[in-house]
Structure 1
Amino acid sequence: MTTANTLEDPRVTAELTRLFASADQDETRLPPSWRTDFAAMAPQEQADAAAEIVMPISAQGGRLLYNLIRAIRPATVVEFGTSFGISTLYLAAAVRDNGSGHVVTTELSAAKAEAASRTFAETGLDDLITVRLGDARETLAGDTPADFVLLDGWKNLCLPVLQLLEPRLAPGTLVVADDVNLESLQPYLDYVRDPENGYQSVTFPVEDGLEISCRL
């Protein structure tokens, strides 16, 4: 019996291979002072300065996201931080193979949002993905459902975005944050690891680490 796995679709495989190869060159695109310079920038300025930087989730992390979504079968997946769309491809592939659902993803950089949209069309997954351009604290405001959440944008904004979405998180909803090794994510980690805030949280040791938190 052949089982559907959109990650094995040649179009998806080709785009992931291309994007990961581009990500391998990220360090060569960054000026030596980028960490210091970025810390002093506003989010939109950071996004514009990093318009050519891929900053992807790892391949293992992507496959973990695929497996989680296949198991949970969320109706609406919300992603903070599209970049060039690597993580979005894993999310949308799982939604495709579930047979239902939709991905809402957000990006501050207009150049990245445009490039990602082209990638989604190339893979045939664009009908499952809505890209919202702008500050996620604005584009995710309102009543957009959130049945599974991936936080992989600027780390200092992960906590504000989570708190924006919290009223819409049903018990059992999973929230995943990437790059637990980054100091700028620490306020978020302190929050979801504090039982008083209503989460059961565990760190999954894949690449730079994923924090997987279940809304209680």
Structure 2
Amino acid sequence: MSAYSPIDAPPHVLELLSALHRKSLEQEAALSETGKAVSTALLAELREKHNDGAQAVFDELMLDKLIALDEDKCRFTYQLINAMGATNIVEAGTGYGVSTIYLALAVAKTKAATGKPGVVIATEKEAEKARIARKHWAQCGANVENQIDLREGDILETLKSGLPEQVDLLLLDIWAPLALPTLEIVKPRLRHGAVILIDNPISAAEGYADLLAYLRNPENGFRNITLPYTNGFEMSVYMPQTAQ
């Protein structure tokens, strides 16, 4: 981590984040010749070796891997939340909860500044990942823990109810086939000007083809830009013709 960080957090939280990002990068380097592990590419490689059993092999391989959202993308998201004054966030694909820490820190800051209520709704299907994510959040302290509502299980079920009246930001860092169905569940709650962020839209373009086609169709109300981070970082702003 560089000497300066835009993240407003106690030293022990910054140290934890730095350590988790280092571990994630080490794991990705061991998984991929490019040094960046992309789930769709890894699964394609496994299918060549294991055919129908590839998904099970992939799931077992990834069970103990952080594969966290890149640190620069996390910092951008933190700054964006502060700039938007966003307080209600949905994170699709929490994993071990690294990016969730940034979301919680930013939401805590905007809640304090605006006096508005808010929550980070995190999602994770694997119980062990959820357990370790909670451990990481506990290490950060109440200012992080108290912002997060973790939904365990099938995301297409856990997000069906209990969403805020208005969602400010949706972070999609999830298995590609689930991305568009997740957006469709959350979309009715997106406020005018809400932001959708998608990791790896360049390297995972094939897996995200349906999602990206949907977002880039002007009739669906989104305006898009691919930010020049490693493997891309898609930023879509929800601007339907009639403000909600």
TM-score range, shorter chain: 0.7 to 0.9
* TM-score normalised according to structure 2 size: 0.78
Match of 1:129 among 132, 140, 148: 148
Question: 5 Å matches for 1:143-154?
Answer: 143-145=162-164, 146-154=167-175
Q: 1:7 to 1:45 in 2, by over 3 A?
A: farther
Which residue of 158, 180, 199 maps to 2:179? 158
Structure 2, unpaired ranges of 5+ = 1-5, 34-40, 240-244
Task: Show the counterpart of 1:177.
Answer: 198
**Per-residue deviation at 1:25?**
2.5
* TM-score normalised by structure 1 residue count: 0.88
Partners of 1:108 and 1:46 lie apart in 2 by 15
Q: 1:14-93 residue pairs with structure 2 within 5 A? A: 14-27=15-28, 30=31, 34-36=42-44, 37=46, 47=59, 49-93=61-105
Q: In structure 2, what residue type is equivalent to 1:149?
A: L
CA–CA distance in structure 2, aligned partners of residues 208 and 150 of structure 1: 16
The answer to which of 91-100 and 189-198 deviates more is 91-100
Specify the code of the residue in structure 2 equivalent to 1:215.
Y
- Cα displacement string for residues 97-118 of structure 1 (whole angstroms, at most 9, x for unaligned residues): 2215221100111111110101
RMSD between aligned residues:
2.5
Q: Distance in 2 between matches of 1:31 and 1:203?
A: 23
Indicate if the aligned counterparts of 2:89 and 2:170 stay in contact, CA closer than 8 A: yes
Length, aligned pairs only = 212
User: Any stretches of 5+ residues in structure 1 without a counterpart?
Assistant: none
Identity %: 33
Q: CA deviation at 1:15?
A: 1.4
* Superimposed CA distance per residue, residues 45-79 of structure 1 (whole angstroms, 9 cap, x where no aligned partner): 85554111111111110111001110112231110
- Structure with larger Rg: 2
